[in-house]
């Protein structure tokens, strides 16, 4: 299994809603990442988890709350988002020393 | 982190070889050069990685000169399905570190 699976594929939420994005991998990777990508822009790093611990937070607003319940799962909890947070949210995983990271297909988030 | 510079866009006809160059003047000794391909509304896909000289796999070649301040991704005989954005990344191999994407090159393959 060489896949990173993200659910849901599409999400529409209101500014007062609470929702969660999920990411799963079964490749034994111990580093997992959240990226945000706006239209026609490169992916921007949000968070890095290594061995289930948050190692990098790129000054992301607190309305985005990451969680790594175990080595295979990564969640991104969303609360009180703004319309400008609408974007493609990408999850990735990698192993230390591995030349490649695997990305999921992303969740297309629309905040209304 | 080394900053990368790529052309914003390129056009090519089907069947031609395409070369996309990336400049990374302040590459560090431990940095590798990695290229990713991304189709609209999909996650980036690893294409190739190298440290120096030439690397070739089933889909592309990567040429890195001795000073390592630039690199060139070569796609042989492109097809319409190669229309995508190509990103050059420079850094240590993935794993517990910050990896940032540059602006990327939008390749448009024309019939």
pLDDT tens for A57-75 read: 999 999 999 999 999 999 9
Which whole number is the average pLDDT over A69-97?
A: 94
pLDDT surpasses 70 at B104: yes
B92 touches A at CB < 8 Å: no
pLDDT of residue B94: 64
State the CB neighbour count (10 A cutoff) for residue B42: 15
Nearest CB among A55, A94, A108 relative to B94 is that of A94
pLDDT band at B80 (very low <50, low <70, confident <90, very high): very high
Give the pLDDT score at B102: 84
Is the predicted pLDDT of residue A86 greater than 90, yes or no? yes
User: SS3 sequence, A42-103?
Assistant: CCEEEEEEECCEEEEECCCCCCEEEEEEECCEEEEEEECCCHHHCEEEEEEEECCCECCCEE
Contact between B102 and B89 (Cβ < 8 Å): yes
Task: Give the alpha-carbon dihedral of A58, A59, A60, A65, to 10 degrees.
Answer: 90
Best CA proximity match to B85, nearest among B13, B37, B16, B21: B37
Q: Please, are residues B32 and B93 in contact by the beta-carbon 8 Å criterion? A: yes
Q: Is B100 on the interface with A (CB under 8 A)?
A: yes
Asked if residue A2 has pLDDT above 90, the reply is no
Per-residue pLDDT band for B95 (boundaries 50, 70, 90) equals: low
- Quote the CA–CA distance of B55 and A86 in Å, as a whole number: 38
Whether residues A31 and B99 touch (CB distance < 8 A) is answered with: no
pLDDT of residue B1: 59
The 10s digit of each residue's pLDDT in B36-59 is 999 998 999 999 999 999 999 999
Of A42, A55, A105, the CB nearest to B87: A42
């Amino acid at each position: 299994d060489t896949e990173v699976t993200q659910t849901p594929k599409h999400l529409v939420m209101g500014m007062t809603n609470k929702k969660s994005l999920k990411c799963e991998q079964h490749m034994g990777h111990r580093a997992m990442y959240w990226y945000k990508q706006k239209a026609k822009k490169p992916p921007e790093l949000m968070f890095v988890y290594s061995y289930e611990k948050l190692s990098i937070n790129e000054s992301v607003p607190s309305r985005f709350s990451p969680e790594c319940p175990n080595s295979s799962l990564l969640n991104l909890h969303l609360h009180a988002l703004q319309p400008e947070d609408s974007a493609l949210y990408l999850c990735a995983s990698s192993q230390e020393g591995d030349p490649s990271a695997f990305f999921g297909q992303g969740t297309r988030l629309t905040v209304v | 982190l080394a900053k990368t510079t790529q052309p914003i866009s390129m056009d090519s006809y089907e069947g031609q070889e395409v070369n996309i160059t990336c400049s990374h003047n302040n590459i560090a000794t431990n940095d590798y050069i990695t290229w990713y391909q991304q189709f609209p509304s999909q996650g980036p896909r690893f294409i190739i990685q190298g440290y120096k000289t030439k690397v070739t796999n089933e889909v592309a070649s990567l040429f890195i000169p001795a000073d390592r301040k630039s690199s060139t991704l070569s796609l042989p005989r492109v097809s319409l399905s190669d229309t995508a954005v190509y990103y050059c990344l420079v850094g240590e191999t993935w794993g517990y570190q910050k990896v940032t994407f540059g602006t990327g090159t939008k390749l448009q393959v024309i019939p």
